[in-house]
Structure 1
Amino acid sequence: MSRYRGPRLRIVRRLGDLPGLTRKNARRAYPPGQHGQNRRKRSEYAIRLEEKQKLRFNYGVSETQLIRYVRRARRATGSTGLALLQMLEMRLDNTVFRMGMAGTIPGARQLVNHGHVTVNGRVVDIPSYQCRPGDVIGVKDQDRSRNLVKANMEYPGLANLPSHLEFDKNTLVGKVNSVIDREWIALKINELLVVEYYSRMA
Structure 2
Amino acid sequence: MSRYRGPRVKIIRRLGSLPGLTGRASKPKSSYIDRSTSNKKISQYRIRLEEKQKLRFHYGLTERQLLKYVRIARKTKGSTGQVLLQLLEMRLDNTIFCLGMAPTIPSARQLVNHRHIFINNYTVNVPSYNCEPGDIITIKNKEKSQLIITKNINSFQKLEIPNHLNFNSIKLQGFVNQTIRSESIDLKINELLVVEYYSRQV
How far apart in 2 are the matches of 1:82 and 1:152?
A: 30
Q: Secondary structure at the match of 2:166?
A: strand
How far apart in 1 are the matches of 2:191 and 2:49?
A: 11
1:35, CA displacement in angstroms?
5.7
Deviations 1:74-106 (A, max 9, x none): 011110000000000000000000000000001
Contact 1:97 1:157 (C-alpha < 8 Å) held by counterparts: no
Give 1:38's aligned residue: 36
Give 1:109's aligned residue: 109
Query: Which structure 2 residue ranges, 5 or more long, are not aligned?
Result: none
Contact 1:56 1:66 (C-alpha < 8 Å) held by counterparts: yes
Give the partner amino acid of 2:102.
Answer: A
Contact 1:115 1:123 (C-alpha < 8 Å) held by counterparts: yes
- Identity, % of aligned positions: 55
* TM-score under structure 1 length normalisation: 0.94
Write out aligned runs for 1:1-202 (5 A): 1-29=1-29, 38-39=36-37, 40-156=40-156, 158-202=158-202
* TM-score under structure 2 length normalisation: 0.94
How far apart in 1 are the matches of 2:157 and 2:130?
A: 21
1:159, CA displacement in angstroms?
1.2
Contact 1:19 1:104 (C-alpha < 8 Å) held by counterparts: yes
Structure 1 window deviating more from structure 2 (175-184 vs 165-174): it is 175-184
How far apart in 2 are the matches of 1:162 and 1:102?
A: 15
1:184, CA displacement in angstroms?
2.5
Which runs of 4 or more aligned residues in structure 1 lie more than 6 Å from their structure 2 counterparts after TM superposition?
none
Query: Which structure 1 residue ranges, 5 or more long, are not aligned?
Result: none
Indicate the RMSD between aligned Cα atoms, in angstroms.
1.6
Could you say which structure has the higher helix fraction?
2
Change (3 A) 1:71 1:142: same
Change (3 A) 1:37 1:16: farther
